[in-house]
Structure 1
């Protein structure tokens, strides 16, 4: 059977629609029992149960409860053709759900507010659909069920555990739902899609004392304020607007609560986002230099450190073109919506895309009758999606996988 989009897209759509009911049921089961971080055993168990009996090879590592499922082509000896990776993340957020859904979180303080429950369910659906046609696949499909996306470096842990080493994928693709994009729209771009994301810290140490006699002390509070403003000035005057950086100081902690005591120390906490490794390196150097230099200029001392986070999520233009062709074949030209500018959020699929070419795309999931522009966004306690979008997600996963296996990036 030919695996050209024009010949098979209707088949993938039909297969995905047939799987929608069980996909919704799986998504709701995961949604009701959200798990956080690198260890999501209940979610992994649900995935294994849903995939039981399929011709898949399973692989797990010591660092996470992530799961790799491998679908190898049947009836081929020696060269098994190309290998493609499809990824879905599994973990939830530390938030109290306020959606009022009948299948809302049953665990206080945890919620699937970023759509990872739907990502996992769609990837399970794609595995089922592709396994049903295992006899005709021209290569290997690796399904990556990954925990720890929300700040825990889950993808990096799975890579470091060697779970993607054999077979090594030739390309990787991922989907991310969005309640703020029209239902069914597929949105992505060439090059940087999402920013690097890391946490910055500073501790300014002066000499505390009576607030009525600041000249006898070294007050770290105005020094900290000067540092915050200097960091913003550096970005405004020294960082090119076409290769931007965002540095937001989100917490300033100082003092005992008394109105008449100058504290010894002030602590700063914030986030740094960039869209290139060059600007990332410049901002790392500048952060240390500005914090330490301004403190020293006032006779204080300072420590500055950065928790290295996710790199830039860099889409390969060839992979984006594959997304475009698959989307148009599924739903027509109107469904394809190129993204004009990157988003400054972070995503640990970036670790995968550093190892192999590929791309991530957003898929619109605005509930029927709602305004995408005003819907509760990702990471909001009221975030909901139109579950029907999962059928398109399944079909798009399948079209991307088979399209790449058949032709690569040609």
Structure 2
């Protein structure tokens, strides 16, 4: 099919399905579920896919894999992914689709990702007589929580039988206005490991510190000392971050030295070899420093997500295709981010492109960051999200032959 004809068909379908996609998004937003608890979400999506006549199966516990086969014959398989889980945040927005689940909110836009992918499935299903090959839809649970739902989807065959030629994912991005998208070829996002550190000393009276071993002071030294792993031992050209975001003493008061201090943090970088080396050096430094000051340190590192690498060839191609579909000035370049994403697991298995979907509208005050209780989107972004992903999927089937 000529490109202009396909482009117009997809754009018309995205417009025609916009009301249904908005309704799906609002339902999902009003009924958010935490990571690996997406039972009602899975049931809702399965019902929608059944209504559309799209074959699907459970995967990843509370996820789904759906497939649409083109009627022009055999061909490559292209995978598309959306995450379905929400965050433990109490929503502050006063909107008709406000979360009905206390303390749970779609504050990272996964409702947008899921509704958009469902809308893309509507478009592709309506065009199946015009393409060869298969489009696979991954509705993935648990992006926000280790071990990451991507690992479970991969375990359950999301990238097998047959192996996809490529995979695409999109994520909301409030700094970009609705109707625009952003791309970054190559390494884009950081690995994310969680740090759980306990520093033990010997409690005592605050007025007699010489009779105690103060774990608070040891912890303070450790927090300061480990930063030299970044500032003096990491190659200055390689981004890396080590942050402790939570500190709690085990007891303690204004005049009481506690027995122990518990710290939680994150370690991030963009190189897997240095990631492993950093964890080794961190263990050595923490342990030796605590011992030198008369205490003990116990460090548990929860291995998180790897760095996310967008295949350069695929991503540059997708960027060009986004310009073709949306317009030259509506697909922009993104900077490297030190945030993490479990889509990264897919990028270490096959060519992948993870791009950003603009959802902001400063004129309407829709500009809150993700992971905040006032996050929301300009819902016109859904038409962009559904149409572009359908365009990338169907163009990829031709490009991958």
Which TM-score applies when normalising by structure 1? 0.93
Q: Is residue 49–residue 55 contact of structure 2 (8 Å, CA) maintained in 1?
A: no
Query: Aligned-pair distance for 1:255?
Result: 4.4
Partner of 1:9: 7
The secondary structure found in structure 2 opposite 1:249 is strand
2:68 pairs with 1:71: yes
Query: Aligned-pair distance for 1:322?
Result: 2.4
Partner of 1:221: 216
Q: Is residue 29–residue 111 contact of structure 2 (8 Å, CA) maintained in 1?
A: yes
2:380 pairs with 1:393: no
2:192 pairs with 1:174: no
Q: 1:368 to 1:207 in 2, by over 3 A?
A: closer
CA distance in 1 between counterparts of 2:311 and 2:189 reads 13
Q: Is residue 72–residue 132 contact of structure 2 (8 Å, CA) maintained in 1?
A: no
CA distance in 1 between counterparts of 2:304 and 2:376 reads 28
- Structure 2 residue corresponding to 1:92, chosen from 66, 73, 86: 86
Partner of 1:28: 26
Q: Is residue 138–residue 158 contact of structure 2 (8 Å, CA) maintained in 1?
A: no
CA distance in 2 between counterparts of 1:397 and 1:97 reads 29
CA distance in 2 between counterparts of 1:241 and 1:11 reads 49
Q: Is residue 239–residue 270 contact of structure 2 (8 Å, CA) maintained in 1?
A: yes
- Note the residue ranges of structure 2 that are not aligned, 5 or more in a row: none
Output aligned runs, 1:4-403, within 5 Å: 4=3, 6-61=4-59, 63-74=60-71, 76=73, 80-152=74-146, 153-339=148-334, 341-367=335-361, 369-370=363-364, 375-403=367-395
CA distance in 2 between counterparts of 1:252 and 1:279 reads 26
2:396 pairs with 1:404: yes
Query: Aligned-pair distance for 1:314?
Result: 0.9
Query: Aligned-pair distance for 1:54?
Result: 3.5
The secondary structure found in structure 1 opposite 2:286 is helix
Q: 1:255 to 1:90 in 2, by over 3 A?
A: closer
Query: Aligned-pair distance for 1:70?
Result: 0.9
CA distance in 1 between counterparts of 2:281 and 2:224 reads 13
Which TM-score applies when normalising by structure 2? 0.95
CA distance in 2 between counterparts of 1:230 and 1:108 reads 41
